[in-house]
Amino acid sequence: MKLSIKNLASVIATYVDENKVSVATFQETRNNTVGLLDTIGKIFTITHNYVDKLEAFDGEFLSFGKTIEEWANDLILCEDYRPNGERAMSPHELTYRPVYFSYTLGRKVIPLTIRNNDIERAVHNEGQFVSIIEGKTKALADSKTMMKYAIKRQLLGVLATMCINMQDTTIADITLAYNDTGSALSLSVVGDIISITLTNGGDAHNYIMVKPYSSDYASYTPTQLIDNGIVVKLDLVEELAQPVDATTSEDFALSLKKAVEVAEDFSEGRSLNGATLGATPNEGLYLVVKQGVMPTLDVKSLAGAFHTDKLAIPTKIVVVPDLGDANDDIYALLVDARGIKCHPTYEAIRENVNGDGDFLNMFSHFECTCFASRNTYVRVFMKPQA
């Protein structure tokens, strides 16, 4: 019969049957004159090299101790020169930001059993046997890699949530309103976070006290607290539409470039502790973006906005599937790589041979302490909240 495209399509559709492709059950056949079982012609697997895209946030191995303590000192304000040295013998103590601690997450273990005289009966040759055994042991390493990758994504999500909570005025230690009369506020040491409404009936914002408390502050108005640098506004979260078109992409690119300029210098109110260390070029800033954002930016916005030579300092972009179980409206974080670390504190592979059951058990042990700095730059980008 003469071949036609239509007839060929019909024949091929019948020939390539879904009941013969990727079927979960094996159908025995003996299509040979001897009546032997037809042999399987190929045994294979498709391997994948699992990678941790957040390796920049790996911390050094902690050989002794598992708790991390973070401290940071304040800088010193200059004073007028005193030719008579009136305060030469007086103490001039350095002041510090509040100290915070990070604790171990506890130990996890990944178990694996390798049975003897198990795979041999199902393969054709030694090469196939070795390949399957290698796949089993590779699964141990790949599983730990993916676990560490997930831990760091969750850590970033926890940091973003901490930033959002720090700007929540309902958790403020002190609530102040604008005082038209300038009378005493009776401010006392309650905590570091102060919610201030600068205009009557206006929006309240959280401020953090960055100067050591003095009883002199009790007579200050909210405006005086701000103007004298006693408190600074916490500016950790930016509500901005996620890039979906040219306009929103350009808005995000502009906001990001402004944020990078701030991040490279010393600033206040851009960290959980108030005072923020500038990101150094050799360490660099990282823009961690959820999947779905970068394609829109690449297509809808000027690509040059994301070239490292166009940014204020080198900034690397890492795309991740999620930020753990953090608010799904968070779609990007600009962070100082020094301030996000996952420190392994214990890693070991142990083996137990079960002679009675004739198998080998392998256990990959892992423990880490996660660290999120309260003194380095962080900027959370999230969709506008109702």
Measured between alpha carbons, how far is residue 82 from residues 77, 88, 89, 92, 165 in Å? 15, 9, 13, 15, 45
**The pLDDT of residue 294:** 82
Strands 174-177 and 193-197: parallel
Q: pLDDT category, 151, cuts 50, 70, 90?
A: very high
CA distance 264 to 243: 24
Task: Identify the weakest region by mean pLDDT among 167-181, 183-197, 282-296, 334-348.
Answer: 183-197
Structure-model confidence comparison of residues 181 and 316, the more confident one = 316
Question: Which of 119-133, 172-186, 287-301, 323-337: highest mean pLDDT?
Answer: 323-337
Which helix (H) or strand (E) element contains residue 135? helix 126-166
Is the confidence at residue 12, as pLDDT, over 90?
Answer: no
The count of residues in the chain is 386
Q: Which of 282, 332, 368, 363 is nearest to 110 (CA)?
A: 363
pLDDT averaged over the chain? 86
Please tell me the chain's helix, strand, coil percentages from 3-state DSSP, rounded to the nearest 5: 30, 25, 45
Strands 68-70 and 193-197: unpaired
Instruction: Report pLDDT digits (tens) over 82-110.
Output: 888 888 888 988 888 889 999 999 999 99
List CB contacts of 321: < 8 A, sequence separation 6 or more: 153, 290, 291
**The pLDDT of residue 313:** 43
Strands 267-268 and 275-276: antiparallel
Q: Rounded mean pLDDT of 12-35? A: 86
CA distance 62 to 148: 16
Q: Rounded mean pLDDT of 355-380? A: 95
Structure-model confidence comparison of residues 191 and 81, the more confident one = 81
Q: How many CA atoms lie within 13 A of 134 on its CB side?
A: 10
Backbone φ, ψ for residue 57 (5° rounding): -100, 15
- Residue 341 pairs with which residues in a beta bridge? 371
**The pLDDT of residue 37:** 86
Tokens matching residue 4: 């036609």
CA distance 111 to 349: 10
Is the confidence at residue 116, as pLDDT, over 70?
Answer: yes
Helix, strand or coil, per DSSP, at residue 87: coil
Q: How many CB atoms lie within 10 A of CB 113?
A: 13
Q: Rounded mean pLDDT of 191-218? A: 83
Is the confidence at residue 72, as pLDDT, over 70?
Answer: yes
* Radius of gyration for the alpha carbons in the chain, expressed in angstroms and rounded: 30
Is the confidence at residue 259, as pLDDT, over 70?
Answer: yes
**The pLDDT of residue 281:** 58
Percent of the chain with pLDDT over 90: 42
Q: pLDDT category, 308, cuts 50, 70, 90?
A: very low
Backbone φ, ψ for residue 207 (5° rounding): -120, 155
Q: Which of 139, 118, 138 is nearest to 129 (CA)?
A: 118
